[in-house]
Amino acid sequence: MEIELIYSKSDPRQMLARDLVVQYINEHGILARITMYEAPVDHPQFVIDGVRLEEHRRLIRTGGNELYPTLEMIERIIEEHVWCM
C-alpha cells in the first residue's frame, strides 16, 4: 500500500490526522510506504494507492470544511484499501 500525506504543521487537526495514519498503520501491522509532505494546505490531503481520499466521500457534512476528513473516515478508507489488496 502506498500512502501520500500532504499536511500543514501549523494546523493541530492536520497533525492529529497525520499521527493517526502512522499509528493506525503501525498498530495494525499494515505493510505500507508512507510519504509525507508539509505544505500550507487548508486540509490534509491523502492519496492511498493513487486514489485521493476526497474521491471516497460518500456523504457531505454540513457546517465546517466539507473537504476536511474525519479521523473515522481516514481509518475506514485505510481499512477498505487493506481488504482490497
What does residue 78 show for φ and ψ, rounded to 5 degrees? -60, -45
Nearest residue to 75 via CA among 22, 29, 36, 6: 22
pTM: 0.69
Task: Quickly list H helices, 2-70.
Answer: 12-27
- Looking at residue 38, what is its pLDDT? 95
Do residues 34 and 28 lie in contact, with contact meaning Cβ atoms separated by under 8 Å? no
Do residues 74 and 17 lie in contact, with contact meaning Cβ atoms separated by under 8 Å? yes
- Looking at residue 66, what is its pLDDT? 52
Give all strands (DSSP E) within 1-85, no chain letters. 2-7, 33-38, 45-48, 51-52
pLDDT at 85 > cutoff 60 = no
Spatial distance between the Cα atoms of 25 and 43, rounded to a whole number of angstroms: 21
